[in-house]
Structures are given as structure tokens and as C-alpha cells.
Amino acid sequence: MRFIYTSIWLILLILFIAGKNQADTIGQSLDPLEVRPSLVTPRLSLPTKLTQVHVISPGEYFVPPMVANIPDDKFGDMVRLGRNIFVNTQKYASRYVRNGLNCSSCHLQEGRKPHAGPIWAAYGMYPMYRQKKRTVVTYQERIQDCFIYSLDGIAPTLDTPEMKALVSYSKWLSKGAPVGVALPGRGYPHVKRSQDLDPKRGKIVYETRCMMCHSKNGQGQKNTNGKGYMFPPVWGNDSYNKGAGMQRIETLAQFVKGNMPLGAGFTLSDQEALDVAMYIWLQDRPKSPKMTFIMDFFYPNMQH
């Protein structure tokens, strides 16, 4: 009796597994990309719907003050130093930076561009709770995190001229912006995921839209005088490390969606942005300073 029960259970189990396998193969065979391999490449390279371009109406975003209007006093000098550090971190804060990026590599156009982590939208929001640190962080601590992860360097302490200058520049840039209000254009735009991410599609997007500036191997292109990057590296030794916010696929996709290709933001579809973000996520870059050996071994690309 017991034998019969066991055999019935076994048969049911075998049937279940077989049925599951069959369902899987059916699902695969119905996938148009698998059925028609000759169409894989063209269908992936073409947008499947009309690209929606983000139209900006005047007054939609906060406009920071002009550089020509920096005051001619001690504070103004600090703001100018802060702007220099922001634009050319490689030169003015070289002792804290280990890779080839500047602040303005991510915070585009001197930290002014909406949807590219604008400084004027961030300054008034701190101190705030950050999930990454699991505590309330001040604006200065947030800048230190940028240096540790995105610039792959060491954190400037709070009494350094670099830190004072960057905070002064941020304060001047957000002159007139409300405090504690999430302004339009803050951070990065929202990206909606509609299907599974595919690095193969992402590779095609990278090669058609990104490669001409960031080069085929993602190493960016150096300035003609050999100092710093004209087009920043998106992976490799001179890029941000695995602890940076950009190592999250969603964050990178949001940045790409809002700003890339340069001057043609919001032309990629959400799915294209996510695919290319996954393709970049899979590449090699400096290790996270927080990363332990075991996590590094089992989750080589994990951001944490």
C-alpha cells in the first residue's frame, strides 16, 4: 500500500516536472525573437513606438543665478573655488579623487541641469534620511559619499577648504529656491519597467547611441591635452565604483533617460534606457570600499 502511494506521488512529480518543462519550451518557442533569429537584430535596433520628447515650457524649472553675478567678496571667492572644484575636480580636488570623473560628469552643466541631479534642488532637502546609510545625513556627509563612491576617492573632512567651497557653491546656486520642497527636475526622472531587461538589446543601444562619445570599450575619451576626460568613462578603472548610486540599474537608467544622448534627453524609451543601464552594470569597474570579500564573490556587480 505504501509502495503504491509512493509511486503515485513519484509519477505525479514526474508529470509536474515534465509539464513545467513543456510549458517552458512552449513559452520559448512562442517568443518571436527565438522563432525568427534573422529578425532579432533589426527589431531590437528600431524603436517600437513614436518617441515621446519631453517639451519644456518656460518657468517649469528653477533657474539658478548667473556666474557673472557671483559676489565680489570672501564668500564669492569661496563660491568661485567651489565652482572650479565642481567643474574640474581632477585639478582642484585631486587629492580626494582616484578616478577620472568630475562632479559635473553626473551633475551636468555645472550642477544646473534639471533631471541630472541639480544642486539647487538637493541643497534645500538636507539633512534627510538616507536608506543607503540608514541614518539622517547632512549635505556635507552626502558630498563625502560622492567622493567615496562616485569619485572612488577619499572623503574630504568637514574643515577642508574643498568641502567649504563646495557647500558655498551649492548654497549660492540654490539662492531663492525653497527649503525642504521637492522641486520639479529634482534628482532623475522616473523610468517605468515594462518587460525584462536584456543586456543584448542594451549592447545594441550602447553601440548606436553611446559609443561615438564614450568609445567602444566604455573608457570614454581623453582631452586633447591628455588631462582629464572630454567624454567621461562609463566603466573601467577611471569610472565610478561599485558602491556608487549609478551602479543601481534603475538610477543609471533614469540618468540616461533624462540626459543622454547629450542634448537629446527623453528620446530613448524607458526600456532602452533600462537595457543599456543593465549592459553597463555588467561591466567591470573599481570595487566598492564597503564591499566584503564574500559579497564581492557572490554578487560581483551588486550595489550596496
Cβ distance to another protein smaller for residue 10 or 63: 63
Q: Whole-number minimum distance, CB 20 to another protein, in Å?
A: 35
DSSP code of 79? H
- Note the residues at the interface with another protein (CB under 8 A): 41-42, 45-51, 54, 56, 60-63, 66-68, 108-110, 112-114, 118, 207-209, 211-213, 221, 223-224, 230, 261-265, 267
Q: CA 198 to CA 210: how far, in whole Å?
A: 17
Q: How far is the CB of 87 from another protein (least distance, A)?
A: 8
Q: Which is nearer to another protein, 19 or 47 (CB)?
A: 47
Q: Dig out the grid coordinates for 82 from the structure.
A: 567651489
Nearer to another protein, 29 or 225 (CB): 225
Q: Indicate the SS3 state at residue 222.
A: strand
CB of 180 to another protein, least distance (A): 22
* CB nearer to another protein: pick between 49 and 74: 49
Quick check: 183 and 177 in contact, CB under 8 A? yes
Contact 288, 242 (CB under 8 A): yes
Name the residue among 272, 252, 280 with its Cα closest to residue 51.
272
Nearer to another protein, 111 or 243 (CB): 111
Least Å distance, CB 213 to another protein, is: 8
Q: Which amino acid is present at 265? A: G
What is the C-alpha to C-alpha distance for residues 57 and 18, in angstroms, rounded to an integer?
58
Which lies closer to another protein via its Cβ, residue 140 or residue 170? 170
HSE toward the beta carbon, residue 274, CA cutoff 13 A: 13
For the bound state, the minimum distance from the C-beta of residue 92 to another protein, rounded and expressed in Å, comes to: 14
The three cell numbers of residue 32 are: 518571436
Length of the chain counted residue by residue = 304
124: helix, strand or coil: helix
For residue 82, the minimal CB distance to another protein (Å) is 15
